[in-house]
Amino acid sequence: MMVLEGKSVFGGIAIGKLSVYGKKDHAVKRSRVADTEAENKRFLEAKEEAKRQLAGFYEKAVKEVGEVNAAIFEIHQMMLDDQDYVESVTNMIKTQEVNAEFAVASTGDNFSAMFAAMEDDYMRERAADVKDISNRVISILQGSTAGAITGEEPVILLADDLAPSETVQLDKSKVLSFVTRHGSTNSHTAILARTMNIPALIGVDFPEKLDEAPSGESCLSGNVAAGTDNGASIDGMLGIVDGYQGKFYLNPDEETLAKYRKLKEEDEQKKRLLQELKGKENVTLDGKKINLYANIGGVADVANVLANDAGGIGLFRSEFLYLESEDYPTEEAQFTAYKTVAENMAGKKVIIRTLDIGADKQVGYFNLEKEENPAMGYRAIRICLDRKEIFKTQLRAIYRASYYGTISIMFPMIISVAEVRAIKEIIEEVKAELDRDGLPYKEVEIGIMIETPAAVMISDLLAKEVDFFSIGTNDLTQYTLAIDRQNPKLDNIYDAHHEAVLRMLKMVVDNGHKEGCWVGICGELGADTELTETFLRMGFDELSVSPSMVLRVRDKIRNTDLSKNE
Ligand code: PEP
Ligand code: MG
């Protein structure tokens, strides 16, 4: 058994088989093979497996994002059968007596360079595709899973880190827990774990094989790799994640396993007790009420929102629709997604946050330039106001969907009144177009996210322009404290309760209320039950938290008495 330490980003206990997430770019070594026939067979089998995986993705994508957006997975299957590609790999294995991984990697690089040099835009775009299919075949040859969880059984997923573009491809129903080497408390993997209500650890220096001792303070105990060969891959081995203590057990012994099975049962019992709070009001002992909504990343999360009895959706991170697509999602695809969410919420409020990409959320087809300081760079509303057609497509889709429920819109990363006015002008253009096209819509509430210190300081002016404020404490804290939310080295000084941030929250509530705006929090801090009483005293009207936190926050609110002295 091996016990490793990590930082917990969401509590809970998971017991299950481990699956090591295959990274997209693979380090491939060249080696000489004696039996080239057998090596070629290995390549052809891996290619067939890759096609099977892609066929599975296609089926899944058709259901989630429609046929047009799913088509890329069909193209990838065809590319894998391209005669020139297959011949190139086969010839290399035979004539140069090299391993299949190396032949696939070299062919992938050559073809990709060839496509990249072509005049035609469509062909140039295929450069990334050929790399992608090659990486998939390589990971199958290497025995890792290239992002796909192949078995039927849910697993504990181990990775260096997961980019939002990678997490969207995962079959979430098969993930029991995330364990990553990197990532920070506020990274999107952490947010995803909270949304999914599963334990997650970051900063765990897990080995690839069980005889590779990890560096750092993690400890080895007892018989290393009992029952397995030294050097056995940890992929498929049993593991335990203790999201309360920040511990990760590899190949646990019987005693540890029994202890954790019991703890897991007790944990589930507590969760069942929270279920009794469903249908109850979010009201303090002395009668103060607050709205409690949930944050989502896509249509699939709505079930979780309803299961946890949230009063609405306080943040729909719409950029996940873009991250899930291989190309700009069409107005129709977006309209379907927003309408589905609005209809499923059956008249409850759904606040859609417009596209917030850039920084840690990179979308390939936007072709954003590499920047020195992406968190302070070309992102979110800055891109939307610059690339107006993309923005208008999204706004048209949202307005059309508004007809089917109660939708509000909010805009990320605002720093000035001028931006809000520019947005409002574009909204007027969109509404005029919809009128002209005879497409129905409702009037929607317009709000902004307060996530820059600038927006806080001019919140008195901004409040005159909009209906509500929703404070994005994740970004607001990073910009106020000048601490990159993605940098795990700074997690120890990232003080979410910093007085500077708390004063800002109070200032925003007061400025908002003076102009009749309602004010909420949709950043992770909103779910921090140590601050629930503080937020209630400050006068917040709404908290929007991960679906899994709704009942815990409700429990806290219902046990708070504001009539008592602070
Ligand atoms: C925030 O910044 O607090 C927020 C809610 O937005 P995101 O985490 O998506 O940047
Ligand atoms: Mg933000």
User: pLDDT tens, 300-327?
Assistant: 899 999 999 999 999 999 999 999 888 9
Residue nearest to atom 3 of ligand 1 (CA): 472
User: DSSP label at 481?
Assistant: H
- Which mutation among 315, 361, 382, 474 tests ligand 1's pocket best, with the greatest number of atoms within 8 A of CB? 474
User: Which region, left, alpha or beta, applies to residue 372 given φ > 0 means left and ψ of -120 to 50 means alpha?
Assistant: alpha
In this structure, are residues 356 and 380 in contact, taking their beta carbons and an 8 Å threshold? yes
Whether residue 253 is found in the same domain as residue 363: no
User: pLDDT tens, 383-406?
Assistant: 999 999 999 999 999 999 999 999
Nearest to 324 by CA among 73, 496, 50: 73
Task: State whether the beta carbon of 512 lies less than 6 angstroms from ligand 1.
Answer: no
Strands 247-250, 175-180: parallel, antiparallel or unpaired by DSSP?
unpaired
Three-state DSSP class for 300?
helix
Residue partners of 88: CB distance under 8 A and separation at least 6: 103, 107, 110, 111
Q: Which residue is associated with the tokens 């931006």? A: 419
Q: Which amino acids are annotated catalytic?
A: 188, 522
Q: Is residue 564 part of a domain?
A: no
Q: What is the pLDDT of residue 129?
A: 78
Whether residue 418 is found in the same domain as residue 452: yes
The overall pTM is greater than 0.85:
no
Whether residue 125 is found in the same domain as residue 177: no
Secondary structure of 431-457 in HEC code, one letter for each residue:
HHHHHHHCCCCCCCEEEEEECCHHHHH
Point out the domain boundary residue: 222, 247, 273. Answer: 273
Q: Is residue 180 part of a domain?
A: yes
Tell me the pLDDT of the chain averaged across its residues: 89
Q: Which residue is associated with the tokens 């949304």? A: 195
Q: Which residue is associated with the tokens 């909204």? A: 427
User: pLDDT tens, 100-116?
Assistant: 999 999 999 899 888 88
Q: Is residue 368 part of a domain?
A: yes
Whether residue 16 is found in the same domain as residue 48: no
Q: Which residue is associated with the tokens 């590779």? A: 212
Q: What is the pLDDT of residue 215?
A: 41
For the domain that residue 96 is a member of, what is the CATH number? 1.10.274.10
**From 20-24, 120-124, 168-172, 216-220, the region with the lowest mean pLDDT:** 216-220
Residue partners of 58: CB distance under 8 A and separation at least 6: 70, 73, 74, 77
Residue nearest to atom 8 of ligand 1 (CA): 474
Average pLDDT over residues 127-137: 82
Q: Is residue 443 part of a domain?
A: yes
End-to-end CA distance of the chain: 48
Tally of domains within the chain: 3
Three-state DSSP class for 292?
strand
Q: Is residue 73 part of a domain?
A: yes
For the domain that residue 476 is a member of, what is the CATH number? 3.20.20.60
**335 or 490, greater pLDDT:** 335
User: Which region, left, alpha or beta, applies to residue 195 given φ > 0 means left and ψ of -120 to 50 means alpha?
Assistant: alpha
Strands 238-242, 13-20: parallel, antiparallel or unpaired by DSSP?
antiparallel
Q: Which residue is associated with the tokens 């806080």? A: 456
Residue 35 has pLDDT above 90, yes or no: yes
Point out the domain boundary residue: 142, 175, 198. Answer: 142
Whether residue 247 is found in the same domain as residue 281: no
In this structure, are residues 214 and 5 in contact, taking their beta carbons and an 8 Å threshold? no
Nearest to 337 by CA among 323, 353, 358, 321: 321
Task: State whether the beta carbon of 560 lies less than 6 angstroms from ligand 1.
Answer: no
For the domain that residue 197 is a member of, what is the CATH number? 3.50.30.10
In this structure, are residues 329 and 322 in contact, taking their beta carbons and an 8 Å threshold? yes
Q: Is residue 93 part of a domain?
A: yes
Q: What is the pLDDT of residue 208?
A: 82
Whether residue 525 is found in the same domain as residue 411: yes
Point out the domain boundary residue: 273, 295, 312. Answer: 273
Distance 472 CA to ligand 1 centre (A): 5
The ligand whose atoms approach the alpha carbon of 192 most closely is 1
Task: State whether the beta carbon of 523 lies less than 6 angstroms from ligand 1.
Answer: yes
Whether residue 538 is found in the same domain as residue 431: yes
Its domain, for residue 116, covers: 36-142
Q: Is residue 28 part of a domain?
A: no
Report residue 20 as tokens.
């090591």
If residue 357 lies in a helix (H) or strand (E), which one and from where to where? none
Task: State whether the beta carbon of 282 lies less than 6 angstroms from ligand 1.
Answer: no
Q: Is residue 31 part of a domain?
A: no
* HSE (side-chain half, CA atoms, 13 Å) at 479: 22
Whether residue 336 is found in the same domain as residue 459: yes
Q: What is the pLDDT of residue 118?
A: 83
163: confidence class by pLDDT, cuts 50, 70, 90? confident
Whether residue 187 is found in the same domain as residue 323: no
221: confidence class by pLDDT, cuts 50, 70, 90? very low
Report residue 527 as tokens.
């779910």
Whether residue 202 is found in the same domain as residue 339: no
Question: Alpha helices of 403-498 — where are they, by DSSP H?
Answer: 417-437, 453-457, 459-462, 473-481
Distance 505 CA to ligand 1 centre (A): 15
Whether residue 283 is found in the same domain as residue 247: no
Whether residue 65 is found in the same domain as residue 198: no
Nearest to 90 by CA among 48, 141, 29, 41: 41
